[in-house]
Amino acid sequence: MAGRPTNSEWFFKNILDSLKDGVITLDERRKIVAFNPAMESIAGVSAGQVMQRDFDAALPELAFFGEKIDQVYRTGEAFFDSNACLRMRDGREVSVSLVVSPVTDDEGGSRGVVIAVRDISYVEDLQRADRYAEVVNAFRFISSSIAHEIKNPMGGIKGAAQLLLEELTDSQLKEYARVIVSEVNRVSGLLENLSDLCQPAELRLEKVNIHQVLDDVIMLETNRAREKGVSVLMDYDPSIPEIPADPQKLMQLFINIVRNGVEAMPEGGTLSFSTKVSDQFKVTRSAEHQTASRMLMVAVEDTGMGIAPEDLDRAFTPYFTTKEGGSGLGLAVSMNIVEQHGGRIKLESRPGEGTVVKVFLPLGK
């Protein structure tokens, strides 16, 4: 019967729909005849919007490689680009690798082209995380040596100032000695934080309900913010199982993130928490084998002032702060906690509109 797909057509459609790579197929006249779900999510448009339409008119954002497609039609030779950047109509830039291959019939005649697109932003994130880890390791080495060297003389200064405090009778001079003691205490506190960053305490793993952790953080941290006009929204995925994690560390992680969100909205706004099972995996390699465990994602989104693009990477650097009185350690500590759990943390921001912090944590076995 005309129009009704045959078994083999269903079979090929299922294959296309199951592929994680985006696929677009064009007929001999550049009309789009297949557009799979992975391509829908890469391009941010539905198949219904583009099917049966001319490629250049339906997807003008991809028109820049129209010339390459012409070349494939003309020469019958495939074209490959391992690192192209596509700017989608919703403003997203997606790093992709793509292959444009000719489709030929049994007689070798041209029947169109097929374009396979792989989103490699995830690979870039991993490379960025590797570069970051190198910088952090160097930083840890230098700062732990410095912290170690400063702690001892600080103890000496404090001891001497305490002796002065006991010996002195002049109240003005006593005050100076008191200032020395309290400032030394402050420096010691900073050194403690620094030591913690350099050699984080061991995790105490238990089965943790991530939603319970988030609820506790929300209860502890958002009461005052609500009074200032911050509303809190939650959108939890109830199918997320308990994960192996250190609940105290996760509390510390989300408290840091929530405080930043609240601090970014002095005039009020919305703080939204959402959880879902992510399509990212934690890959563990050992000499014998490689395992991949699925991750959950917690997104904490604010409608605050946002972060300038040039500050996005620096935000995790210890002591980077744009706040008066900020220590700049919140996100550095958060990054450490996430990495100790084998997860990843990512910041996305639009200046003037808001920021979303995405935390990925392995779901375990």
Ligand X SMILES: Nc1ncnc2c1ncn2[C@@H]1O[C@H](COP(=O)(O)OP(=O)(O)OP(=O)(O)O)[C@@H](O)[C@H]1O
Binding site for Mg ion (CB under 5 A): 260, 330
Token pair listed for 360: 């990925």
Q: Work out how close the CB of 335 gets to Mg ion at its nearest, in angstroms, rounded to a whole number.
A: 12
State which residue, 214 or 329, has the beta carbon closest to ligand X.
329
Q: Looking at 95-222, list the stretches that DSSP marks H as alpha helix, in order from N- to C-terminal side.
A: 121-167, 171-198, 210-221
Q: Work out how close the CB of 200 gets to Mg ion at its nearest, in angstroms, rounded to a whole number.
A: 18
Q: Work out how close the CB of 262 gets to ligand X at its nearest, in angstroms, rounded to a whole number.
A: 9
State which residue, 304 or 330, has the beta carbon closest to Mg ion.
330
State which residue, 72 or 307, has the beta carbon closest to ligand X.
307
- Amino acid code (one letter) for 28: E
Which option in ligand X, Mg ion, none does residue 36 bind, with CB closer than 5 to 8 A by kind? none
Q: Kindly state the helix (H) or strand (E) to which residue 196 belongs, with its residue range.
A: helix 171-198
Contact 356, 300 (CB under 8 A): yes
The Cα 335–Cα 253 span in angstroms is 8
Report CA 36 to chain centroid distance, whole Å: 26
Q: Work out how close the CB of 215 gets to ligand X at its nearest, in angstroms, rounded to a whole number.
A: 20
State which residue, 100 or 331, has the beta carbon closest to ligand X.
331
Collapsed DSSP state (helix, strand, coil) of residue 234: strand
Contact 110, 73 (CB under 8 A): yes
Which option in Mg ion, ligand X, none does residue 327 bind, with CB closer than 5 to 8 A by kind? ligand X
Which option in ligand X, Mg ion, none does residue 241 bind, with CB closer than 5 to 8 A by kind? none
State which residue, 190 or 208, has the beta carbon closest to ligand X.
190
Q: Draw the binding track, 305-344, toward ligand X (x: CB under 6 A; -: no contact).
A: xxx---x---x----xxxx--xxxxxxx------------
The Cα 340–Cα 249 span in angstroms is 10
**In degrees rounded to 5, what are phi and psi of residue 61?**
-70, -15
**Binding site residues, ligand X, CB under 6 A:** 256, 260-261, 264, 302, 304-307, 311, 315, 320-323, 326-332, 355
